[in-house]
């Protein structure tokens, strides 16, 4: 699948918001690929630029993020200027995200799960949710009109929780992996962070095993897990997927 990277064409159906460049590739990249294959417009907003990472720098991460966006079929991607490693839920930061929400106008927003080892991830979950609410208030003035997404879901790959649902990414697992490995500054073997990062030769095995686990829960080969806070709605019991026995 070939989709042009169009930074000047921001309208999207699905917007993934993440703390760091490469978070989306790890947690919901396959889902973005599946949505793009269905003709939906997808976008990514990274809140930080990667200046505090053990490996690489912000400039390298920017180039890698653009390459990964191409591989994911994403039409629009930008990074805000929130400090890497010190993301805070402030009104100023909420308004920065509001401006993007009103520009991109997504129906669905994907956020990181609200419990995480890295504080930036859990803060981004709360920050993103509150920005989605604020974006719908007419009296909060920005350059564009108000917009509130219809649906917020949480990518829960790194959370020890039972997913609300799993997206089948079986057809996109290889391209998802290629998008992650576009971050050569992070995942290629090197001396910096050698004791912290998974060796390059193990990344494929680990990421495929995780996707296989969640796929098995839903009766498919590979999957990505998500949590929604609200109750789901079923129209026809005959069409509910995933076999019970």
User: What would the pLDDT profile of 34-93 be if each residue is shown by its tens digit?
Assistant: 999 999 999 999 999 988 777 778 899 999 999 999 999 999 999 999 999 999 999 999
Domains annotated for the chain, with CATH where assigned, are 14-224 (3.40.50.10320)
Which pLDDT tens digit goes with each residue over 169-191? 999 999 999 999 999 888 876 66
Q: Tens digits of per-residue pLDDT, 214-229?
A: 999 999 999 999 999 9
Contact between 43 and 7 (Cβ < 8 Å): no
E strands present in 66-107: 76-79
C-alpha distances out from residue 158 to 19, 48, 66, 112, 224, Å: 14, 19, 24, 9, 11
The 3-state DSSP class for residue 42 equals: strand
Q: For 15-43, what is each residue's pLDDT tens digit?
A: 999 999 999 999 999 999 999 999 999 99
- Residue 203 is encoded by which pair of tokens? 């990344």
């Amino acid at each position: 699948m070939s989709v042009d990277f169009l930074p000047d064409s921001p309208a999207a159906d699905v917007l993934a918001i993440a703390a760091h460049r490469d978070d989306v590739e790890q947690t919901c990249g396959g889902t973005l690929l599946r949505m793009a294959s269905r003709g939906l417009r997808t976008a990514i907003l990274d809140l930080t630029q990667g200046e505090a990472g053990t490996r690489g720098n912000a400039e390298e991460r920017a180039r890698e993020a653009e390459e990964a966006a191409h591989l994911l079929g994403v039409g629009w991607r930008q990074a805000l200027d929130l400090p890497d490693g010190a993301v805070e839920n402030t009104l100023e930061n909420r308004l920065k995200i509001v401006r993007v929400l009103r520009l991109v106008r997504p129906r669905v927003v994907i956020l990181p799960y609200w419990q995480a080892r890295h504080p930036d991830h859990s803060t981004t979950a709360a920050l993103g949710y509150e920005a989605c609410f604020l974006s719908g208030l007419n009296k909060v003035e920005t350059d564009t009109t108000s917009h509130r997404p219809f649906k917020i879901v949480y990518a829960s790959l790194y959370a020890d929780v039972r997913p609300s649902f799993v997206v089948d990414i079986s057809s996109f697992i290889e391209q998802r992996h290629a998008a992650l490995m576009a971050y050569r500054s992070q995942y290629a073997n090197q001396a910096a962070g050698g004791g912290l990062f998974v060796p390059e030769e193990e990344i494929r095995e680990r990421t495929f095993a995780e996707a296989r686990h969640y796929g098995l829960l839903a009766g498919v080969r590979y999957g990505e897990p998500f949590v929604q806070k609200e109750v789901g709605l079923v129209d026809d019991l005959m069409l509910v997927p995933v076999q019970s026995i």
